[in-house]
Amino acid sequence: MKLPLLAAALLAASPALAELPDLAGRAVTVVTEDAYPPLQFVDGSGAPVGWEYDAMAEMAQRLHMTVSYDHSSWDAMIPGVSAGQYDIGMTGITIRDDRKTAVDFSDPYMRSEMIMLVRGDESRFTDGKSFAANPDLLMAAQPGTTPFYVGVYDLLDGNEANPRIKMFETFGAGVEALRAGDVDLVLTDSTAGEGYAKASNGALKIIGEKLGAEDFGFIFPKGSDLVAPVNAAIAEMKADGTFDKLNKKWFLDYKMGE
């Protein structure tokens, strides 16, 4: 079965390495937000689950590292990793040059395209141009994220203080505001957007054309010696089909809320 665009997300496979580094049980603290389905979130039983959790567990097994998890809001995550408070950060983090001044990135493990998430009965606009043309329409965003900057510079007028952009601490809070009618658009990558639309039973939908692509990577403190082992594991997992299996599990088979 051919994967949809959001899961086709994966980059071309790299050749598998003959032998992965052995970290000999090294303790590694991974920070995440648990607010970004299907990459990482809390399921109906209260358990943290998702694509990134499964990928990290597989990497830990292959590299022989002992992983523990901590949690952080998005706006505190990059500073926390940069300061060495955590060893690795994961929450669908777009690889961007400006962020590379604060943290190191792994090689990309997923590619996702930017989409427009709206309520299922939305009819006032159908794309970015018609959204921008109506001054009464509002969008939700997390400050400092790629969707925020795409909204500011690609959809609106380049003013980062534009009052049409309503700020929320988490992506999930912005989606709840959309559902409640407090905002009219959530601009997000297809990974999270497709996940929410799929689970909404028609309450949410995706409109318009894709607005570009972004690559996701894990983040590390600058100079971390974990980057090379994690990159080696990513290359092997691409090559042996592990990422394809995770895509099928989380983007095709999994139904949130069941």
179 and 93 fall within a common domain: no
Structural domain of 95: 26-109+217-253
Domain count, the chain: 2
Residue 56 has pLDDT above 80, yes or no: yes
223 and 199 fall within a common domain: no
**Which residue type sits at 167?**
M
Residue 116 has pLDDT above 70, yes or no: yes
Dihedral angle sign, alpha carbons of residues 97, 98, 104, 106: negative
174 and 238 fall within a common domain: no
The verdict on residue 11 lying in a domain is: no
The verdict on residue 240 lying in a domain is: yes
- Cβ(119)–Cβ(140) under 8 Å? no
Question: What average pLDDT does the structure give for the chain?
Answer: 89
The verdict on residue 5 lying in a domain is: no
Distance CA 194, CA 6 (A): 7
The two structure tokens encoding residue 243: 């990422």
The two structure tokens encoding residue 170: 């988490």
116 and 166 fall within a common domain: yes
What tens digit of pLDDT does each residue of 136-166 get?
A: 999 999 888 888 888 999 899 999 999 999 9
User: Backbone phi, then psi, for 246, in 5-degree steps?
Assistant: -65, -40
- Cβ(138)–Cβ(164) under 8 Å? yes
Burial of 46 (0-12, 13-18, 19+ CB in 10 A): exposed
What tens digit of pLDDT does each residue of 185-234 get?
A: 999 877 678 878 888 889 999 999 888 788 999 999 999 999 999 999 99
Write the CATH number for 128: 3.40.190.10
